[in-house]
């Protein structure tokens, strides 16, 4: 059997999640000559998720730099160039590859502003999240980055937010970890024009509710919406709040949800021990204990590496059923 790649020129549909990223980057690169992209496999395939496809052809190889597989040097190159006054996007393809550059990210990029009278306007983009591909490509590292002073973390769930957040990140002075979920790569949706920016630290309500709230981000928003629809049929109305960034974290939106419903589920794919969901539950409980009708329930990943077997991979992360169970639990208080 053979396969053939075809290129469609006519855009009959809304842009995809990856195309939304391209759109935001393209606009900002046109505006700011200091922006360049550095990573592996960005020229022909445009990155493993086609996230920068066509940009090298449009802007040239000096602004989309084809790098060897040297994660530490890739991030260091971004850090040094950012300190010098450029605004690099280091594309790691998969966030799992950040392990090879962890000192450059956590110990260097994050701390330079604090000590050295300089700025590090750097975006580290990577695809994250649990999907097929097994243990080495499915780590959920967002809590590690969000808990490091000096770093910000974006976790968009829609094309609209991808574009709005990357544009903001490319106007900022700080290192940003920009995480795009594997399973969202192909989703389509509207995007806004070049003057639309999504601020960091501002969550968005993506579904109205009357009884309880689910606070989440990334691909879990999709699963949460399916669960909310099923719950609606059972007479339970759930609001879904998409955090969009994990640091800065929209504590106001979280507090408002707690005050409004007193019944809150926090959801993501990371193993629950030491996760963002732990952070949210603890903070909300400390701040608004008296508003809660019962404990905040966390739904997250199991404490196991992600298996390559599809059923085992699914079993490691929240499902529609497990989210419904959690919502019913908070409704029982």
Partner 1 sequence: MSIPDKATSLALLREMMVIRDFEETADKLSLRGKVSGGMHNSSGQEAVAVGVLSALDKFDVIASTHRSHHHTLAKGFTPREIMAELFTRATGISGGRGASMHLGDVERGHFGGNGIVGAGVGIAMGAALGIQQKGDKKVSVGFVGDGGMNTGRTWEAINMAVIWKLPLIVIVDNNQYAVETFVGRVTGGGDLAKRAEGFGMKAFNIDGMDVLEVRKYTSEARARALAGEGPTFINALTYRYYGHNVGEKGQYRTLEEIEQWRTTKDPIDRFIKVVLDAGYASQAEVDELRASVRAEIEDAVAFADSSPEPDVSTIYDDVDSGMLGVQL
291: left (phi over 0), alpha (psi -120 to 50) or beta: alpha
Site residues for partner 1, window 240-269 (CB under 8 A)? Answer: 245, 248
The verdict on 237 binding partner 1 (CB under 8 A) reads no
The verdict on 193 binding partner 1 (CB under 8 A) reads no
Site residues for partner 1, window 137-156 (CB under 8 A)? Answer: 149-152
Smallest distance from partner 1 to CB 106, Å: 11
Which of 154, 166, 149, 170 lies closest to 106, judged by CA? 149
Stretch that binds partner 1, among 169-177, 186-194, 232-240, 293-301 (CB under 8 A): 169-177
The verdict on 31 binding partner 1 (CB under 8 A) reads no
Q: Which residue has the tokens 């879990």?
A: 220
Among the listed residues 8, 62, 235, 332, the single contact to partner 1 using CB under 8 A:
62
42: left (phi over 0), alpha (psi -120 to 50) or beta: alpha
Of residues 65 and 182, the one with the C-beta less far from partner 1 = 65
The verdict on 230 binding partner 1 (CB under 8 A) reads no
Residues annotated as part of the active site: 137
Of residues 175 and 189, the one with the C-beta less far from partner 1 = 175
Smallest distance from partner 1 to CB 171, Å: 6
Taking the C-alpha atoms of residue 320 and residue 267, their distance in angstroms, rounded to an integer, is: 11
For residues 98 to 127, the per-residue mask of contacts with partner 1, x marking binding by CB under 8 A and - elsewhere, is -----xx--xx---xxxxxxxx--------
The verdict on 68 binding partner 1 (CB under 8 A) reads yes
DSSP string, 247-289: ES--HHHHHHHHHHHS-EEEEEEEESTT-HHHHHHHHHHHHHG
Residue 324: C-alpha distances to residues 44, 211, 319 (Å): 43, 13, 9
The verdict on 77 binding partner 1 (CB under 8 A) reads yes
Query: Could you say which DSSP state residue 85 is in?
Result: T
Residue 207: C-alpha distances to residues 8, 238, 319, 330 (Å): 34, 7, 18, 18
Of residues 120 and 296, the one with the C-beta less far from partner 1 = 120
**Which residues lie below 8 Å from residue 283, measured CB to CB, with a gap of 6+?**
251, 254
SS3 assignment, position 238: strand
Stretch that binds partner 1, among 74-82, 185-193, 261-269, 290-298 (CB under 8 A): 74-82
Number of residues in contact with partner 1 under rule CB under 8 A: 53
SS3 assignment, position 152: strand
Binding site for partner 1 (CB under 8 A): 34, 36, 62, 65, 67-68, 70-86, 103-104, 107-108, 112-119, 149-152, 168-169, 171-174, 176, 197, 199-202, 245, 248
């Amino acid at each position: 059997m053979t396969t053939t790649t075809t290129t469609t020129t006519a855009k009959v549909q809304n842009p995809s999640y990856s195309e939304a990223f391209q759109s935001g980057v393209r606009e900002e690169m046109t505006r700011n000559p200091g922006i360049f992209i550095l990573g592996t496999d960005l020229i022909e395939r445009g990155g493993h998720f086609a996230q920068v496809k066509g940009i090298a052809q449009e802007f040239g190889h000096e602004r989309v730099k084809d790098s060897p597989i040297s994660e530490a040097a890739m991030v260091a190159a971004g850090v040094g160039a950012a300190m010098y006054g450029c605004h690099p996007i280091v594309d790691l393809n998969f966030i799992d590859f950040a392990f090879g550059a962890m000192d450059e990210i956590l110990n260097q990029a994050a701390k330079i502003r604090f000590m050295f009278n300089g700025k590090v306007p750097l975006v580290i983009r990577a695809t994250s999240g649990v999907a097929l591909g097994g243990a080495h490509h499915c780590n959920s590292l967002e809590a590690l980055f969000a808990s490091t002073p000096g770093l910000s973390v974006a976790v968009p769930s829609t094309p609209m937010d991808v574009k709005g957040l990357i544009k903001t990140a490319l106007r900022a002075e700080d290192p940003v970890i920009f995480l795009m979920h594997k399973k969202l790569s192909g989703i389509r949706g509207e995007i806004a024009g070049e003057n639309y920016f999504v601020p960091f630290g501002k969550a968005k309500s993506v579904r109205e509710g009357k009884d309880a709230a689910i606070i989440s981000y990334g691909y879990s928003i999709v699963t949460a919406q399916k669960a909310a629809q099923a719950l609606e049929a059972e007479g339970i109305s759930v609001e879904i709040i998409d955090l969009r960034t994990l640091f800065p974290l929209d504590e106001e939106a979280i507090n408002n949800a707690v005050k409004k419903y007193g019944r809150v589920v926090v959801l993501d794919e990371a193993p629950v021990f030491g996760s963002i969901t732990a952070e949210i539950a603890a903070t909300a409980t400390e701040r608004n204990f008296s508003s809660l009708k019962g404990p905040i329930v966390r739904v997250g990943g199991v404490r196991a590496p992600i298996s390559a077997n599809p059923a085992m991979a699914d079993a490691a992360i929240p499902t529609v059923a497990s989210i419904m169970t959690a919502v019913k639990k908070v409704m029982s208080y």
